[in-house]
Structure 1
Amino acid sequence: MKRCFVIPVYNHPDTIAATVRSLLQFELPIIVVDDGSDAPTKAQLAALATQVPAMELLTLPQNLGKGGAVMAGLNRAFERGFSHALQVDADGQHNLADIPLLWQKALEQPLALVSGAPVYDDSIPTGRKIGRYITHFWVWVETLSFSVKDTMCGFRVYPLASCMQLFASKKPGLRMDFDIEVMVRLYWQQVPVVFVPTKVIYPEGGRSHFRVLRDNWLISKMHSRLFFGMLKRLPWLLWRKCRKTS
Structure 2
Amino acid sequence: MNLPEKEHIRPLIVIPVYNHGGTLRDVVVRVLDVCADVLVVDDGSTDVNTREVIGGLPARLIRYEENRGKGEAILRAASEAKRLGMTHIITIDADGQHDPADLDRFMPVIREDPLAIVVGKRFFDRTVPFSSRFGRGFSNFWLKVQTG
Alignment TM-score, normalising by the size of structure 2? 0.82
Distance 1:24 1:126 in 2: 31
1:14 matched to 2:14: no
**2:34·2:103 contact (CA, 8 Å) conserved in 1?**
no
Q: Is the 8 A contact 1:7 1:30 kept in 2?
A: yes
The gaps in structure 2 that reach 5 residues or longer are 1-8
Which one has the largest radius of gyration? 1
The one of 68, 88, 95 equivalent to 1:64 is: 68
Taking the aligned partners of 2:134 and 2:103, their CA distance within structure 1 comes to 27
Please say if 1:46 is aligned against 2:52.
Answer: yes
* Secondary structure in 2 matching 1:105: helix
Cα separation, 2, equivalents of 1:13 and 1:30: 17
Partner of 2:4 in structure 1?
Answer: none
CA RMSD of aligned residues (A): 2.1
Q: Provide closer, same or farther for how the CA distance between residues 131 and 88 of structure 1 changes in structure 2, counting only shifts above 3 A.
A: closer
- Contact persistence 2:21–2:53 (CA under 8 A): no
1:24 to partner: Cα distance: 1.5
TM-score (norm: length of structure 1): 0.51
Letter of the 1:94 counterpart: H
CA contact (8 A) 1:9 1:32 kept: yes
Partner Cα separation in structure 1 for residue 40 and residue 29 of structure 2: 12
Report the CA distance between 1:131 and its aligned residue: 4.8
Structure in which a larger fraction of residues adopt helix? 1
- State the partner residue of 1:92: 96
Structure 1 unaligned spans of 5+: 148-246
Give the superposition deviation at 1:14. Answer: 0.4
How many residues matched? Answer: 140
Q: Which has the higher contact order (CA 8 A, sep 6+)?
A: 2
Counterpart for residue 45 of structure 2: 37
In the aligned structure 1, how far is the partner of 2:104 from the partner of 2:79?
23
Residues 128 and 104 (structure 1 numbering): CA distance in 2 closer, same or farther, change over 3 Å?
Answer: same
- 2:76 match: secondary structure: helix
Q: Which residue of 1 aligns with 2:128?
A: 124
Shift of 1:137: 4.8
Identity level (%): 34
- Are the equivalent residues in 1 in contact too, given 2:44–2:67 (CA < 8 A)? yes
Q: 1:26 is matched with which residue: 22, 34, 55?
A: 34
Matching residue within 72, 79, 103 for 2:107: 103
1:141-156 aligned within 5 A = 141=145, 143=146, 147=148
Whole-angstrom CA distance in 2 between matches of 1:13 and 1:131: 22
